[in-house]
């Protein structure tokens, strides 16, 4: 799981902080992947990275995300006000900002319209059935956010109550994933779409068999132990730490990424996770 700078995918430990041009190259690369995979068409989707607490690098409005160049990207502050760049930021940036505001551990957000996951969103069905063990480990449950008209603040406000999840379906619209870095956020979009496809096949076959509560509880324990854990670490780029997390002694060691807990904290954390799912 441990990554090294340059070729990492979802590293378990914070690596050296990336520079802006590297974040730009990463966003261009992820835009191409989203397009190649058929997760977006034409000018769909948007991608962002929180480079520093008040510096968001994001995709421009109205351009095809499969054909971006690093110079096309724009930088805003944490409230979405343009700082520099030759284009306008996406009108959907606000829902990314909600994720950054609510989740100190999140440093990248991906929004796309992958066909199977978006099918669930159009049908009004959350992906909250414990059907696939891998998905419980890496993504957790995927709720359905209420419909919000794109380009209005409604969309961001519909996302807010679900910001604790790493993947969210947006009713009659698409999907949103978040991660500690861009590759993790993108991987979660792939996992979300892949599992939506499998769920649909299982439904067609007519014999979906959810995992038992006991199996789900064991998977959640593993999720904690192996480091797929939900918000307990600082964001990779800007080291924003929730005061609550720092106060609870959950802040990772800056060098090793190791964390220590009292027994009480550990019980509380596991209880939170089980409740959350």
Which positions are catalytic? Answer: 92
Q: Select 52 or 92, whichever has its Cβ closest to Zn ion.
A: 92
Residue 57 Cβ, how far from Zn ion at the closest point, in Å?
19
Q: Is residue 60 involved in binding Zn ion (CB under 5 A)?
A: no
Residue 142 CA to residue 169 CA, distance in Å, equals: 7
Q: Select 60 or 174, whichever has its Cβ closest to Zn ion.
A: 174
Q: Select 140 or 174, whichever has its Cβ closest to Zn ion.
A: 174
Residue tagged 């058929």 (tokens): 38
Let me know if 231 is exposed, middle or buried by CB neighbors in 10 A (0-12, 13-18, 19+): buried
Residue 13 Cβ, how far from Zn ion at the closest point, in Å?
33
114: CB partners within 8 A, 6+ apart: 37, 38, 39, 174, 175, 189, 192, 193, 196
Residue closest to Zn ion when measured from CB atoms: 174
Residue tagged 């619209």 (tokens): 173
Residue 275 Cβ, how far from Zn ion at the closest point, in Å?
30
Q: How many degrees, rounded to 5, is the angle at CA 85 between CA 79 and CA 33? A: 90
Does residue 81 contact residue 157 with C-beta atoms inside 8 Å? no
The mark string for 173-202 relative to Zn ion (x by CB under 5 A, - otherwise) is -x----------------------------
Residue 20 CA to residue 4 CA, distance in Å, equals: 18
Residue tagged 């351009």 (tokens): 63
Q: Select 160 or 215, whichever has its Cβ closest to Zn ion.
A: 160
Residue 21 CA to residue 30 CA, distance in Å, equals: 14
Residue 229 Cβ, how far from Zn ion at the closest point, in Å?
29
Q: What are the helix (H) ranges across 152-212?
A: 153-159, 182-205
Using CB under 5 A, count the residues that bind Zn ion: 1
Does residue 189 contact residue 39 with C-beta atoms inside 8 Å? yes
Interacting residues with Zn ion between 138 and 177 (CB under 5 A) = 174
Residue 150 Cβ, how far from Zn ion at the closest point, in Å?
6
Q: Select 89 or 174, whichever has its Cβ closest to Zn ion.
A: 174
Q: What are the helix (H) ranges across 37-145?
A: 93-102, 115-123, 133-138
Q: Select 74 or 112, whichever has its Cβ closest to Zn ion.
A: 112
Residue 94 Cβ, how far from Zn ion at the closest point, in Å?
12
Three-state DSSP state, 56: strand
- Point out which residues bind Zn ion (CB under 5 A): 174
């Amino acid at each position: 799981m441990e990554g090294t700078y340059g070729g990492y995918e979802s590293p378990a430990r914070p690596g050296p902080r990336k520079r802006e041009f590297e974040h730009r190259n990463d966003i261009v690369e992820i835009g191409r992947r989203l397009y190649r995979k058929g997760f977006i068409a034409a000018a769909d989707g948007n991608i962002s990275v929180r480079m520093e607490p008040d510096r968001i690098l994001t995709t421009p409005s109205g351009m095809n995300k499969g054909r971006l160049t690093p110079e096309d990207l724009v930088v805003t502050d944490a409230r979405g006000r343009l700082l520099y760049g030759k284009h306008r930021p996406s009108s959907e940036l606000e829902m990314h900002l909600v994720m950054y505001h609510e989740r100190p551990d999140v440093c990248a957000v991906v929004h796309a319209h992958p066909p199977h996951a978006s099918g669930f969103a159009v049908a009004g069905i959350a992906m909250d059935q414990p059907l696939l063990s891998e998905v419980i480990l890496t993504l957790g449950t995927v709720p359905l956010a209420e419909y919000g008209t794109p380009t209005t603040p409604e969309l961001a406000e519909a996302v807010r109550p679900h910001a604790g999840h790493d993947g969210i379906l947006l009713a009659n619209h698409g999907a949103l994933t978040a991660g500690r870095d861009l590759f993790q956020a993108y991987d979660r979009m792939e996992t979300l779409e892949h599992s939506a496809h499998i769920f649909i096949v299982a439904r067609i076959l007519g014999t979906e068999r959810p995992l038992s509560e006991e199996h789900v509880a064991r998977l959640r324990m593993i999720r904690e132990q192996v480091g797929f854990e939900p918000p307990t670490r600082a964001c990779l780029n800007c080291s924003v730490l929730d005061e609550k997390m720092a106060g609870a002694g959950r802040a990772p060691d800056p060098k090793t990424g190791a964390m220590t807990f009292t027994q009480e904290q550990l019980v509380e954390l596991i209880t939170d996770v089980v409740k959350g799912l």
